[in-house]
Structure 1
Amino acid sequence: MDTSLLLTIGFIHLVALASPGPDLALMLRFSARRRAALGAASGIAAGILVHSLLSLTGISLLIQGQPLLFSLVRLAGAAYLGWLGWGALKASLTPAANRLTAASGLPERGFWAGFSTNLLNPKALVFFIGLLAALVGPEVGWLTRGLLVLELFLLSLLWFLALAWWLSSLKVQARLLAWSRPVNALCGLLFCGVAGSILWLVVGELARS
């Protein structure tokens, strides 16, 4: 077991988790209902689990090595993130209601939204390919690889569960409610911005090929 490798990747992953992105935007969108927020947190962690498994087994590299397949994956992800962004922007134009978002309070709804958002985010795919391919060489045994998958999943789960609990607290919700329209607009712009940057990269690559 390579303890230093586990600590290094764990620290880098924590920094990435704390960075703003589609996962954080989704947590804000579901924060009005705690059960849905906790479901979204679990879904995001499950998506990270799949990314970790795909990267450590080399499947993600195979996908990236097929230009057409990789472009289709990124286009699907951009379309999904764009759809989420459009929904958030529409919500920002409606009068403030009793909740930040009209998303269902069912935890299953939150789970599948979190899972899909993370799994279909091409930038997450590229991040895990870059992180794990750069630091996990062929000499790393399967015990360490298994512990890495477990570490990345547990860190993600604990981080997003804590974030869901905090965002859905009464004090935070009171502040978010007062800023519901700007928050929805910010989430929408973030989703659409990520989707647009992905489309720009794919179109540029296709134009050069």
Structure 2
Amino acid sequence: MQSLFVTIGLLHLIALASPGPDFALILRTSLHRPTAIGAAIGIALAILLHATFSLTGISLLIAEHPWLFNLVRLTGALYLGWLGWGALKAAWQGSATLRLQAGNEHGGLAQGIRRGLATNLLNPKALLFFVGLLAAMITPQVSGLTRSLLVIELFLLSLAWFGLLAWSLSTPRAQRLLDRVQRPLNLVTGLLFGAVSLSILMELAREASAYI
């Protein structure tokens, strides 16, 4: 069991460190520390749900029913596309304007939690990652207690990683650096969200055309 915890923990950390919509959201909200911390909590809660759903078979049920899985994919693609569009619009604004809007636009801790939860929970790639990881690693012989501890491990690792990232990026020193590159960062963030959204929509379009 110890090797199982270590293996899954390391694989999860590698996935967390990989650039993606979650990292982009933390970067995007780092102008306002409460929002960034909230986003980190929301992402960790979404991962907690993904892991729980995967271990209870709910995620596998969604993945095995094309219409339900496609609905999740479409909703996620549209939401990520909306976030991308917001980041691209912000790329055309100056950092001073962004700072003036930060309190209203980002909305604080609660708004950050909602954004983090939605960004990760509606990302179909995250769903497939946890279905694949846990289905491959967790055998029927693994006890319920061990499964629960694995879910807690994934949650705590996610909260620690994104919480540290949110705190580090929202420090005055980091903000001074980010101020100088705010526009290109927003541009990169918007393009990243847009690329993920577009790739999901293109996959859905290809699959739909195969049935026509």
TM bucket (normalised to shorter chain) is: over 0.9
In the TM superposition, residue 202 of structure 1 has moved relative to its aligned partner by 1.5
Aligned to 1:113: 115
Aligned to 1:43: 42
Aligned to 1:208: 210
The one-letter amino acid of 2:124's match is P
The one-letter amino acid of 2:87's match is A
Looking at structure 2, the residues matched to 192 and 30 of structure 1 have their Cα atoms a distance apart, in angstroms, of: 17
Aligned to 1:156: 158
In the TM superposition, residue 50 of structure 1 has moved relative to its aligned partner by 0.5
The one-letter amino acid of 2:74's match is L
List gaps (5 residues or longer) in structure 2.
none
User: What whole-Å deviation, never above 9, does each CA across 1:66-93 have from its counterpart, x for those lacking one?
Assistant: 0111111100000000000000001101
Q: Is the 8 A contact 1:98 1:177 kept in 2?
A: no
SS across alignment from 2:95: coil
In the TM superposition, residue 105 of structure 1 has moved relative to its aligned partner by 4.5
Aligned to 1:55: 54
In the TM superposition, residue 144 of structure 1 has moved relative to its aligned partner by 1.1
Aligned to 1:19: 18
Looking at structure 2, the residues matched to 130 and 202 of structure 1 have their Cα atoms a distance apart, in angstroms, of: 20
Looking at structure 1, the residues matched to 73 and 14 of structure 2 have their Cα atoms a distance apart, in angstroms, of: 24
In the TM superposition, residue 96 of structure 1 has moved relative to its aligned partner by 2.9
Please point out which of 118, 135, 140 is paired with 2:137.
Answer: 135
User: What whole-Å deviation, never above 9, does each CA across 1:126-182 have from its counterpart, x for those lacking one?
Assistant: 110111111112121111110110000000001111111100011111011111110
SS across alignment from 2:141: coil
The one-letter amino acid of 2:28's match is R
The one-letter amino acid of 1:72's match is L
Looking at structure 2, the residues matched to 60 and 105 of structure 1 have their Cα atoms a distance apart, in angstroms, of: 31
Q: Give % identity.
A: 57
Aligned residues: 208
Greater helix fraction, Structure 1 or Structure 2: 2
Looking at structure 1, the residues matched to 107 and 204 of structure 2 have their Cα atoms a distance apart, in angstroms, of: 35
Is the aligned partner of 1:77 residue 2:79?
no
Q: Is the 8 A contact 1:99 1:177 kept in 2?
A: no
**What's the TM-score, normalizing by structure 1?**
0.96
Please point out which of 177, 180, 192 is paired with 1:178.
Answer: 180
Q: Is the 8 A contact 1:43 1:110 kept in 2?
A: yes
List gaps (5 residues or longer) in structure 1.
none
Looking at structure 1, the residues matched to 178 and 94 of structure 2 have their Cα atoms a distance apart, in angstroms, of: 14
Looking at structure 1, the residues matched to 22 and 11 of structure 2 have their Cα atoms a distance apart, in angstroms, of: 17
In the TM superposition, residue 98 of structure 1 has moved relative to its aligned partner by 5.3
SS across alignment from 1:97: helix
